[in-house]
Chains A and B, each alone.
Chain A
Amino acid sequence: MRKPKLAVWKFASCDGCQLSLLDAEDELLAVAGAVEIANFPEASREVLPGPYQLSLVEGSITTPHDAERIQQVRSESEFLVTIGACATAGGIQALRNWADVAEFTRSVYATPEFIDTLDTSTAIADHVTVDFELRGCPINKGQLLEVVNAFLYGRRPDIPGYSVCIECKRRGTTCVMVADGTPCLGPVTQAGCGALCPAYHRGCYGCFGPAESANLPALISELRRLEVDDATLVRALRTYNAYAPEFRAASDELEVTG
């Protein structure tokens, strides 16, 4: 039987998510044994022709060219998985969606006419059908291997949508919000990182985006009680997953009411 072809595609991103695959040192050989790696920009320049049974898409859509290229990738991919906050929510670069991009290009580039960019940074799912979204900035390599594994065996990936708090408690971390009054986005953020920040006495930054039942208004009123001002709340919600619908709605609402 021919091995399925796996391709990694890069759009507007920092490469951190595909590096998670390269970082899976112990498992990389097993991955290479189970699939044919047809495209992996961080590992090799060689690109084998499609179709691709599994495409991992990193990065967001920020240019007209990329908006076309993603259509091409989709048409050549049987199963398309977005990896990371850029691909699933537009990434940190989605902050441009609240700003004037022409103004940015004028102040950054000597010859802004050469810059051909969109006004927005958007998720892959805003452009093509996505079969599965893997969250995180960056993604967790264990979760990535789980997705590849699930694909190989035709099963649903075991990637829970519940909150970071569950991981926090499982690892035995004492809640920083309750015990220190440290603001934490964990209750509205999807698990996946293993509750890394609270284990180091810091609040969750929301890297994995909104959890399945995220109740932003309830957390926001609690954070206000902890004396976090609205401007800070807006900044906290506008990071890697700023444009994820629930975070975006909450930060917009704060700007209106705040």
Chain B
Amino acid sequence: MEAASVLERRNFNGLLDALTARGYRPIGPVLEAGRIVYGPIQRDSDLPIGKTDIHDGGMYRIADRPDDALFGYNLPSDSWKQYLFPPHSRLWTATKSNGSFTVAAEEIDPPRYALLGVRACELAAIRVQDTVFTGAFPDRQYNAVRDDVLIVGVNCGQAGGTCFCTSMGTGPQLTDGYDLVLTELLDGDHRFLVRSGTATGADILRELPLTPATPADCAEAEALIEHVSGHMGRMLDTDGIKDLLYDNAEHERWDDVATRCLACANCTMVCPTCFCVTTEDRPTLDGATAERWRTWDSCFSLGFSHIHGGPIRTSVKARYRQWMTHKLATWIDQFGTSGCVGCGRCITWCPVGIDITHEVAAIRTEEAVHAHR
């Protein structure tokens, strides 16, 4: 690991300047109509200064902090997926000519994003999507955006009410995969402990007015991480999770969750690893051209499992089970990692507060009861 340095709060704009000077478009947390979302960042004043977020099942509120922290919240309502894997994209256009047609792939010239404030679980999620989109079937559009992305991670200074990254082994500390990582220190002088993880990150740091970190700075950062680790809002026991779910495909808990689940798909839309899409062909009325579009879809929609003859997952029970079993079990067989990074978004943003950690726990305890009978 690179040696740590200290960036004073008053010099934070220097970091933004260094990013824009390199042609990056910084995207980070912004306060918009009482919620923190990702948006363009030009100056430090665009950040949600002195604000925090409160998360619980189906509940989110913004609150004031007693300090002027720039990154004193946990997670915005949207995720980086919105930028790396946009909800709509045109894949190609076909044009009719001389009784035949030609197909032109979409030209891709994505902005060079600098993602500012990437949390440990979010970086883990990006890497899960990297595996999906760079594996056996590399996705042109995803990789075009991803290749140029610069990641400025920020370690969490608090745990959110629905967070369980420690359970999933993804946080709260960023360990690698970033260009730069910051820890916001608020004891005494407001400052950031910074480290680079790549040559680009190191180049950027060379331009900033930094001082070497003292052992006290490092100790403060470490204590913070330790505190966060010990205060997770949720917990998920992953021990033998694959077999647990495979063995309990007919568990009565699935019927129970189906009575509560709206099949609204919010959980999949907000999940930073969910990648399911549908494609639509849109011909013009005169038939001269046609476009193929790719749009976020969800395993909670009926059309998603429509094969010839009709949908195969007609019940909500089957759809919830598909979602959770894919996230936590079949994903491991498919991609070698869990599909869940423990960010808690699906819990917070489920309008009825259905909680993946509670659902797993219910299956586990009820299974134990069955086993001991």
Of the listed stretches A48-56, A106-114, A122-130, A146-154, chain B binds A146-154
Evaluate contact between B265 and A162: CB separation under 8 angstroms.
yes
Contact of A170 among B282, B295, B352 (CB under 8 A): B295
Q: Is the interface of A mostly helix, strand, loop or mixed?
A: helix
Q: With the chains together, A145 CA to B285 CA distance in Å?
A: 9
Q: Is B323 an interface residue (CB 8 A)?
A: no
Of the A-B pairs whose beta carbons lie under 8 Å apart in the complex, a sample of 27, sorted by A's number, is A27-B285, A146-B282, A152-B285, A152-B287, A153-B283, A161-B302, A161-B303, A162-B300, A162-B303, A163-B263, A163-B265, A165-B265, A165-B351, A166-B297, A169-B87, A169-B265, A169-B270, A170-B88, A170-B295, A172-B87, A174-B77, A177-B58, A187-B266, A187-B351, A212-B301, A213-B319, A217-B259
Q: How large is the interface on A (under 10, 10 to 19, 20 to 34, 35 or more residues)?
A: 35 or more
Of the listed stretches B21-29, B31-39, B208-216, B334-342, chain A binds B31-39
User: B77: which A residues are within 8 A, CB to CB?
Assistant: 174-175, 179
Q: Is B82 an interface residue (CB 8 A)?
A: yes
Evaluate contact between B284 and A163: CB separation under 8 angstroms.
no
Known interface pairs A175-B349, A175-B351; A170-B87 also in contact (CB < 8 Å): yes
Q: Is A186 an interface residue (CB 8 A)?
A: yes
Q: With the chains together, A180 CA to B61 CA distance in Å?
A: 7
A-contact 0/1 string along B266-304, CB 8 Å cutoff: 100110000000001011111100000001111011110
Q: Is A34 an interface residue (CB 8 A)?
A: yes
- With A166-B269, A172-B78, A179-B35 given, can you name 12 additional A-B contacts, CB distance below 8 Å? A30-B285, A162-B302, A165-B262, A166-B265, A172-B82, A174-B35, A175-B60, A178-B60, A178-B351, A218-B262, A222-B58, A222-B351
Evaluate contact between A215 and B296: CB separation under 8 angstroms.
no
Evaluate contact between B266 and A149: CB separation under 8 angstroms.
no
Q: With the chains together, A165 CA to B301 CA distance in Å?
A: 11
Tell me the smallest distance from the CB of A181 to a CB of chain B, in Å: 8
User: B350: which A residues are within 8 A, CB to CB?
Assistant: 178
Tell me the smallest distance from the CB of A189 to a CB of chain B, in Å: 10
* Interface residue ranges, A against B (CB under 8 Å): 27, 30-31, 33-34, 145-146, 148-149, 152-153, 158, 160-163, 165-166, 169-172, 174-175, 177-181, 184, 186-188, 201, 211-213, 215, 217-219, 221-222
Known interface pairs A215-B261, A222-B58; A175-B285 also in contact (CB < 8 Å): no
Q: With the chains together, A30 CA to B270 CA distance in Å?
A: 38
Q: Identify the closest chain A residue to B37 (Cβ).
A: A174
Evaluate contact between A165 and B266: CB separation under 8 angstroms.
yes
Q: With the chains together, A158 CA to B298 CA distance in Å?
A: 16
Evaluate contact between A169 and B266: CB separation under 8 angstroms.
yes
A31, A145, A163 interface centre (most CB from chain B within 10 Å): A163
User: B259: which A residues are within 8 A, CB to CB?
Assistant: 215, 217-218
Evaluate contact between B60 and A172: CB separation under 8 angstroms.
no
Tell me the smallest distance from the CB of A148 to a CB of chain B, in Å: 7
Evaluate contact between B301 and A160: CB separation under 8 angstroms.
yes
Contact of A219 among B37, B303, B348, B352 (CB under 8 A): B352
A-contact 0/1 string along B37-75, CB 8 Å cutoff: 100000000000000000000111100000000000000
Contact of A148 among B59, B264, B270, B285 (CB under 8 A): B285
Q: Identify the closest chain B residue to A181 (Cβ).
A: B59
Evaluate contact between B263 and A175: CB separation under 8 angstroms.
no
Closest 8 CB pairs of A and B: A169-B269, A187-B264, A170-B87, A213-B263, A162-B301, A187-B262, A30-B285, A165-B264
Tell me the smallest distance from the CB of A142 to a CB of chain B, in Å: 10
User: B58: which A residues are within 8 A, CB to CB?
Assistant: 177-178, 222
Evaluate contact between B87 and A160: CB separation under 8 angstroms.
no
Known interface pairs A161-B302, A171-B87, A222-B351; A31-B262 also in contact (CB < 8 Å): no
Tell me the smallest distance from the CB of B84 to a CB of chain A, in Å: 14
Tell me the smallest distance from the CB of B244 to a CB of chain A, in Å: 26
User: B285: which A residues are within 8 A, CB to CB?
Assistant: 27, 30-31, 33-34, 145, 148-149, 152
User: A212: which B residues are within 8 A, CB to CB?
Assistant: 301-302
Evaluate contact between B283 and A160: CB separation under 8 angstroms.
no
User: A181: which B residues are within 8 A, CB to CB?
Assistant: 59
